[in-house]
Amino acid sequence: MQNQTLQLGCRCLNALAMVILTSALAFAGSTPELHSVLPRGIQRGSEHTLMLQGARLNDATEVFFYGEGITSKSIKVVDNKKLEVVVEVAPDCRLGEHVLQVRCDQGISDFRSVFVGPYPTVKEKEPNNDFAAAEKVELNHTVAGKIRREDVDCFVVSLKANQRMTVEVEAVRLGTFLDSVISVYDSEKKEIAVCDDTELFSQDGFLSITAPLEGDYYVMIRDAAYNSNNDAHYRLHVGDFDRPQMMFPAGGQSGEVLNAAMLERQTPDMESVVQRPAADIQLPDMKQSSEVLSNGPSPLPLRVCAFENFNRADDGKNLKFQDALEVSTPIAINGRFATAGQQHFYKFTAKKNEKLAIDVFAKRIGSPLDPIINVFDEKNKSLVGNDDSAVRPDSFMVFTSPADGTYFLRVIDYFNRGGIDMIYRVEIAPVRPLLSLNVKRIDRFSQRRMAMAIPQGGRFATVLSAKKEHFAADVELKFDGLPEGVTAKMHPLNKNAKEMPVVFEASEDASIDLEKVTLSAKAKIKKTESKEGDKGDAKAEPVGPVFDTEFTLTSLDSRGNPNNFVYHPTVVDKLAVGVIKKLPFSITVEPLKAPLVRNGSAKVKVIAHRDEGFKEKIRLQFPYRPVGVGMTYQIEMKEDQTEIEYPINANKGAQLGKWPFYVIATANVSGPAWASSQLETVSVEEPFIAMSSKRTVVGRNETVKVVCQVEQLRGFPGDATAVLRNLPPHVTVAGPVNFDKATDAIEFELKTNDKTPFGQHKSIFVEVVVPVGEGRSVARAGNVVLQINQPLKQKPAIAMRKAAK
Amino acid sequence: MNFVSVTRTIMASVFCLALLIQMVPCAKTATAQSKSEPVDLRIYPETISLNGARDSHTVIAQTVFADGITAGVTEHLGLKIADEAVARLEFGRVFPMKDGKTNLTVTYKSFTKVIPVTVSNSRADEALSFQLDVMPVFSKTGCNAGSCHGAARGKDGFRLSLFGYDAEGDYFRLTREMLGRRVDVALPDDCLLTNKATNRVAHSGGKLFETDSEYYQVLKRWLEEGAKFDGDEVATVVSIQLLPENGLLSGEGASQQLNVTAHYSDGTTRDVTNLAFFSTSNSDSATVSQEAMVTGGRRGEAFVMARFDTHTVGSEFITLPRDLEFEDQQDLYPENNFIDTHINAKLKKLRIYPSQLCSDEQFIRRVNIDICGQLPTVEEVNAFVTDENPTKRSVLIDRLLCQDAFLDLWVMKWAELLQVRANRKTIYTKGAFLYFQWLREKFYNETPLNQIVIELMGANGSTFDNPPTNFYEVDRDQLKTAENVAQVFLGMRIQCAQCHNHPFDRWTMEDYYSFASFFAKVRVKPTADPREVIVSQGGGKETKHPVTGATMMPKYLGGNSPDVKGKDRRIVLADWIASAENPYFAKNVSNIVWAHFFGRGIVDEVDDVRISNPPVNAALWDALGQSFVKSNFNLKDLVRQICSSRTYQLSTQANESNQSDLTNFSHASLRRMRAEVMLDVLAQVTDTTNKFAGLEMGARATQIADGNTTNYFLKTFGRSTRESVCSCEVKQEPNLSQALHLLNGDTVHKKIKAGNLIGKWQKSGLNKTEIVEKLYLRILSRSPTESELKSVLATLAESEIESKKNSEVAAAERKSLEDLFWALLNSSEFMFNH
């Protein structure tokens, strides 16, 4: 009973603490959060009020969009957690997902999305779970609804004979996990069409029917296994729009006119496909992929490349290796397996060591094809192949030509299927050196600290993750379009590094503002045009760019089973960098005066500059760690503390070189506020000294000398000192031993007493402090083994033993 | 316990007692006549062929009486060899003397039979064979049994392969593992092999045989001959024969000697009676000694088996009470269809009279629960009972077969066999749901069952687009898939043969891995959706025999090796399984269906078909299978045949002759309703609804798609978790938790309250007698008997007297009637289908 009371008491205390904490966080202020945007979709060409819900939003000053076409006209702060935002959507606004984010005076929120559609929206009203309760919907309207567990929503549409009706759902794309099934019933309640998943939009489906008779037609939507979230939003577009599943060819050369045909499924079982006559499409003048709009609610993907198309006729030939069609790379082949069992061969030439990326588009262009590719040499020997790439089931591989020669690419379908919709697009082009960048996640799924909110006169910092494909070089990064008064401090990205820290600084007078910043990069590579003999003299200097740079940030909200799989990541290609109100604190770190040697340690002195009266705890973290350098995750400065030392250490394998670092601080300023130190450098170097010693044996109450052999690894000026650390209790040693760069052995005199524990002590080490300039380098130079022996027990005399018996 | 519950319990007891009285079987006596004059003498074997100097053969005899009773008379035979220079007799055993032919004359009472004897190779006395002579000794004396050295890790440091599946391995371990200790060719009498077996050296297994025994002499001679392994070609046992094939023993103690003859691949035969291992399926009715003597016990039948090498064969023995009098009364039991013909034939053999037909009330209730998993309504019961149409039972069966509930029940049963559930490793909720939907669609479209099997086993593509592919996602282990296919479609449990030859059946490791090889090429690859995979045929390594390392090519179980080159092996197998000629599939499916309607299969358990578990009525089993094939594997037709039979319509009340019969369907058995049906029925009678995850309100428990969807009630009442294909997944045995849940749990009480039927009836002006009548009809499909009604009304009156005010009377009446409702739902008569 006593325990129970105690537990109860603890619980009450916890609850109280929670209340206090929550009330502190509930105050408006730093680090605002945006959780949801309602309604999930709006019509273009009109004005709407969006309800934004989140936390710490009451100093919101701007709602900004990443794409063109939507502008925020006014913001009304309802309360700390809610904003009402009036937005205007341009009539030519791009359809589909648009990303928005809230800027507050003291922070920048997460980004979330809203969808733009062509039709006016009607809200679903429950109950509408069966035919009898079906809600009337007019054509060319969008129903905004919710599916609860085991919920079915039913709508009725009146159609004339031969009138077309297309239904498309946006559900998983909206960010909630609803694996929808849409079905259409005739007036006799007989199912005439159903769609679960589509290649184009995965879990989101669409279907079209042509009404055989005039009458009421029912549209039903539910979760495929009645297993959705209880609060799953959907947007159901019901109209007479065209809804092509794919186009053929599914891409073309940038700036050219593409003659392409739309393919559409229109029958109940979604099995047979109708191909509409080809029409001309003016392709945009862009480097890479784009999308073309249908007149329906969401876009149809279209590839745009720098190289031309090769469109093969539906001849049913090319079943044999010998009949390969000749193409010259780079090329985009558009093909179709019109009949089952076809194999398509293409012949191309490649130089020795030429690396060609062979990328097959099927699912990505809405095709049901499951391609498998292989490259053969002239002797019909398979060299390399691929079934599924990361974008399943599409195929991708890099083919490195083993010699100058002719090679054969074979494309087949996994199930040898054929049909008008069995289309593919193979792009063969030299590999594209690519640098992909993003902001390293702090949390597995949230967007915490992924927007750069820099306090006036202060700093904020982040770590960028970088992936280099098909090139190896140091890279210099540049942020384009930073707000005025903001600078980004960083070192070049090391050739071998996958992460790099960036510290943003805002001047005192920088105005509170925000920009969506792009990133560009240049390689620092050795001259490639130098002659063979010049290899040794080649200097590192920036040339290029020699690669493409991609920057993306991903919101991982649309998660579901299994394992929090992200079904629809929302991606932006710019970084939100903003200046926020000055914080009542900032921090700086003192530059390290000595290198951090392998097996060594150092202390980073962090100084907090508190405004008068600012008495919050400040927690410090070290978000970027060079390889082999470690430290505790977080240390804390007390309310009145202004200085603290953050210990760091390097292991024996720490990567050598000069590495940037920063310390980030957080304190409660009406919510968690973050400030970074300036960017500093730590030099990781080889140690100066290595020591070794033989096992030393001693008894209790004795004195012994431990002799350490000194290996001078590199010279140093002046005197260094050595001390023994981690000695067992009741062992004393005379003061530090001084030595210099010529010393080859040192001695420590140890004393034991009558309490010194017996046994072997292996964790003793020699710590050496070497003077380097104004600083001192501290390192473990070697281990010492000390054995404290127990005196041998005297065996009792035989007579004694007998007597004892 | 509060006052209310005390009252309730007492009332329940009163009601239950009243109900139980209705169910006490009323025994009916039957008499018959049996005569005891032998009319025939059967001598086994009919010819004797001795090959080699060591060969010998025993002779056994069985007399047959006019009424079919048999008796073993081996020890009373007069034996004489015509030419004693060719063969000699010793202890009733024929031994060779020289090559030639002679006759053995057998006399018993007035019977004389002549058995031709042929002797060949009489001088040949070849060295003993390890596999043909030594290993059978290990098997006979139990050395290589699982409890002894046949255990996976052996016993006391010595291991033999279980039941001798690995001759080479056994030879190696015996002769090479402990050099000079286990075998000693120089001192055969003084090595571990002979010393342990005779317990001259302490042996955990004790003394297995004496030094002068035949078994010892075999081991000794093999050692003396150098303890050699066999050459390349050793004859294998092709089949064994157990004689006599059956026996009808009269009374306890009646006996019959058996004989086992092995037929080898080289054409020779051998009397292996002394090397075969004997067992019985029912030691209560017939025991069998290891000396091959069957002895009768209590009335009943037993299957006596002999195992030699990898072969097991059995003989059917029936024991009847001594001098039982039996009169054939077949005319009194008209046969509705072939089922009755076979059942009656078997019952006649057992001297059993079937029970009488059940009443109309019992029939309409029974058939509604069995076919549709629901109770008949009050109106349906009244209409049926008063219907004068002589074919009304057939009409009712046909009407029920047209209901969706019938299909739902069978979709559920097959969903259990196919393990339709989200296992959250390979199948997620959506996959399970689509799989179930597919199955449901097939049953709703009346797709023949063999067609469903073909579609399932040959399925290719995405688990979402083509849901039967989920069949291969239930377990990605090809061995497990093979085992499941054998168990579900063929009714065979071949799991044992994965590690050793099946001890009670004919399946060897070769059979197992050859069968598994049909699934060697199944390929699974992921898609963009983590819940979905693509199943196809292609790639994959061939199946290897784990002992020999040999590549195993596909071979049907008990059949030949088909040509699979360039074909989808799964489809080849599916075509074989689902063909009309398949010896197992149709019989297996019809047995599963049969078991649903009778509570036990003709082979029971239904998925444990093996030689050592024979059908209780092989002729019926065959006929059902043929009928199923003839109907093009039509489930409805099969159910119609079964339900139309007189056998199905028998009463649960036994007569004197069949009261001990639990296996031959001579009377109907009490069967507790299965969990889903019971919950649905509870909802039906209380006018309430159930709610399950993933199903709309009011959906029935039999419609649950995902095997993981369950609730406390279903779990308690033994719903299948669909975690294995085993028929044992569904538990229909009553237990205490179930009784307590019905008594005190929230299901019954809450449903009565929620449905408020009594209140509604009171409001509509029904008086309490009418309500009691309605309750009985609604729950038990019959009116209360006069004594029940009297007793119930008296109890109701008592509780009403306690009410002080008039206004309380109606409430008290409702309360008492609800108690009656509760008591009826707790009665055995409600819970059991009878």
Enter the ipTM. Answer: 0.86
Cα-to-chain-centroid distance, residue B686: 36
Asked if B428 lies within 8 A of A561 by C-beta distance, the reply is yes
Beta bridge partners of B811: none
Q: Which of A344, A295, A294, A291 is nearest to A317 (CA)?
A: A344
Mean pLDDT estimate for chain A: 89
Asked if A561 lies within 8 A of B534 by C-beta distance, the reply is no
> Tens digits of per-residue pLDDT, B88-98?
998 889 999 99
Confidence of residue A122 (pLDDT cuts 50, 70, 90): very high
Asked if A393 lies within 8 A of B693 by C-beta distance, the reply is no
Contact B562, B575 (CB under 8 A): no
Q: Which of B436, B529, B536 to mutate to test the interface with A (most CBs of A within 10 A)?
A: B529
Q: Which of A228, A265, A269, A414 to mutate to test the interface with B (most CBs of B within 10 A)?
A: A414
Query: Can you give the pLDDT at residue A229?
Result: 80
Q: How far apart are CA B6 and CA A461, in angstroms?
A: 74
Q: How far apart are CA B536 and CA B520, in angstroms?
A: 11
Beta bridge partners of B616: none
Asked if A388 lies within 8 A of B525 by C-beta distance, the reply is yes
Q: How far apart are CA B358 and CA A440, in angstroms?
A: 77
Neighboring chain A residues of B694 at a CB cutoff of 8 Å: 150, 225-227
Q: Is the pLDDT of residue B502 over 80?
A: no
- CB-closest option in A129, A224, A393 to B430: A224
Query: Can you give the pLDDT at residue B501?
Result: 80
Confidence of residue A523 (pLDDT cuts 50, 70, 90): confident
A269-273, B146-150, B480-484 — which is least confidently predicted?
A269-273
Give the gap in angstroms from C-alpha B441 to the nearest C-alpha of chain A: 14
Asked if B528 lies within 8 A of A202 by C-beta distance, the reply is yes
What are the DSSP calls for B292-356, one per residue? SEEEE-SSEEEEEEEEETTEEEEEEEEEE-TT--B---GGGS--SSHHHHHHHHHHHHTT----P
Query: Can you give the pLDDT at residue A783?
Result: 94
Residues of A with CB under 8 A from a CB of B: 129, 149-150, 152, 179, 196-197, 202-203, 224-227, 363, 370, 387-388, 391-393, 414-415, 561-563, 565
Query: Can you give the pLDDT at residue A537?
Result: 45
Q: How far apart are CA A468 and CA A550, in angstroms?
A: 10
- Which residue does chain A place closest to B696, by CA atoms? A150
Query: Can you give the pLDDT at residue A800?
Result: 57
Nearby residues of A747 by Cβ (< 8 Å), 6 or more positions away: A705, A706, A707, A708, A737
Q: How far apart are CA B73 and CA B90, in angstroms?
A: 18
Q: Is the pLDDT of residue A317 over 80?
A: no
Give the gap in angstroms from C-alpha A224 to the nearest C-alpha of chain B: 6
Q: How far apart are CA A358 and CA B355, in angstroms?
A: 78
Give the gap in angstroms from C-alpha B704 to the nearest C-alpha of chain A: 12
Query: Can you give the pLDDT at residue B499?
Result: 87
Cα-to-chain-centroid distance, residue B399: 31
Q: Which of A791, A759, A784 is nearest to A705 (CA)?
A: A784
Query: Can you give the pLDDT at residue A14?
Result: 45
Q: How far apart are CA B651 and CA B666, in angstroms?
A: 9
Query: Can you give the pLDDT at residue B322?
Result: 86
Asked if B433 lies within 8 A of A387 by C-beta distance, the reply is no
Q: Provide, rounded to the nearest whole percent, the portion of chain A with pLDDT above 90.
A: 76
Confidence of residue B650 (pLDDT cuts 50, 70, 90): very high
Q: Could you tell me the sign of the dihedral formed by the alpha carbons of B787, B791, B797, B798, in that order? A: positive
Query: Can you give the pLDDT at residue A21?
Result: 39
Residues of B with CB under 8 A from a CB of A: 424, 428-430, 432-434, 460-461, 464, 525-531, 534, 536, 693-697, 705-706
- Mean pLDDT across B297-314: 91
Q: Name the pTM for this structure.
A: 0.88
Neighboring chain B residues of A393 at a CB cutoff of 8 Å: 525, 527-528, 534
Asked if B694 lies within 8 A of A225 by C-beta distance, the reply is yes
Q: Which of B401, B338, B339 is nearest to B370 (CA)?
A: B401
Q: Which of B421, B531, B709 to mutate to test the interface with A (most CBs of A within 10 A)?
A: B531
CA distance between the termini of chain A: 56
> Tens digits of per-residue pLDDT, A265-278?
876 555 678 888 88
Asked if B434 lies within 8 A of A150 by C-beta distance, the reply is no
Query: Can you give the pLDDT at residue A595?
Result: 95
Q: Which of B708, B454, B455, B675 is nearest to B579 (CA)?
A: B454
**Number of C-beta neighbours around residue A88 at 10 A:** 16
Query: Can you give the pLDDT at residue B245?
Result: 92
- CB-closest option in A129, A196, A562 to B464: A196
CA distance between the termini of chain B: 33
Asked if B525 lies within 8 A of A196 by C-beta distance, the reply is no
Phi, psi (deg, nearest 5) at residue A185? -120, 150
Give the gap in angstroms from C-alpha B449 to the nearest C-alpha of chain A: 24
Asked if B528 lies within 8 A of A225 by C-beta distance, the reply is no
Neighboring chain A residues of B460 at a CB cutoff of 8 Å: 415
A181-185, A724-728, A791-795 — which is least confidently predicted?
A791-795
Scan for tokens 């409600």, then name that residue. Answer: B830
Cα-to-chain-centroid distance, residue A127: 41
Query: Can you give the pLDDT at residue B36?
Result: 61
- CB-closest option in B461, B464, B695 to A415: B461
> Tens digits of per-residue pLDDT, B543-563?
999 989 999 999 999 889 999
Burial class of B760 by CB neighbour count within 10 A (0 to 12, 13 to 18, 19+): exposed
Neighboring chain A residues of B534 at a CB cutoff of 8 Å: 370, 393, 414
Contact A431, A483 (CB under 8 A): no
Neighboring chain A residues of B530 at a CB cutoff of 8 Å: 562-563, 565
Q: Which of A203, A227, A421 to mutate to test the interface with B (most CBs of B within 10 A)?
A: A227
Query: Can you give the pLDDT at residue A511?
Result: 94
Asked if B433 lies within 8 A of A227 by C-beta distance, the reply is yes
Neighboring chain B residues of A270 at a CB cutoff of 8 Å: none
Q: What is the dihedral of CA B67, B72, B76, B77, to 10 degrees?
A: 90
- CB-closest option in A129, A179, A392 to B527: A392
> Tens digits of per-residue pLDDT, B441-451?
999 999 999 99
Asked if B527 lies within 8 A of A562 by C-beta distance, the reply is no
- Mean pLDDT across A163-178: 92
A–B CB contacts, 8 A cutoff, strictly below? 63
Confidence of residue A495 (pLDDT cuts 50, 70, 90): confident
Asked if A225 lies within 8 A of B695 by C-beta distance, the reply is no
Asked if A414 lies within 8 A of B534 by C-beta distance, the reply is yes
Contact A182, A195 (CB under 8 A): yes
Contact A299, A96 (CB under 8 A): yes
- Mean pLDDT across B435-458: 96
- Mean pLDDT across B151-168: 90
State the number of CA atoms in the 13 A half-sphere of B410 facing the CB.
Answer: 27
Asked if B694 lies within 8 A of A226 by C-beta distance, the reply is yes
> Tens digits of per-residue pLDDT, B712-761?
999 999 999 999 988 888 888 888 999 999 999 889 999 999 999 999 99
Confidence of residue A530 (pLDDT cuts 50, 70, 90): very low
Beta bridge partners of A210: A164
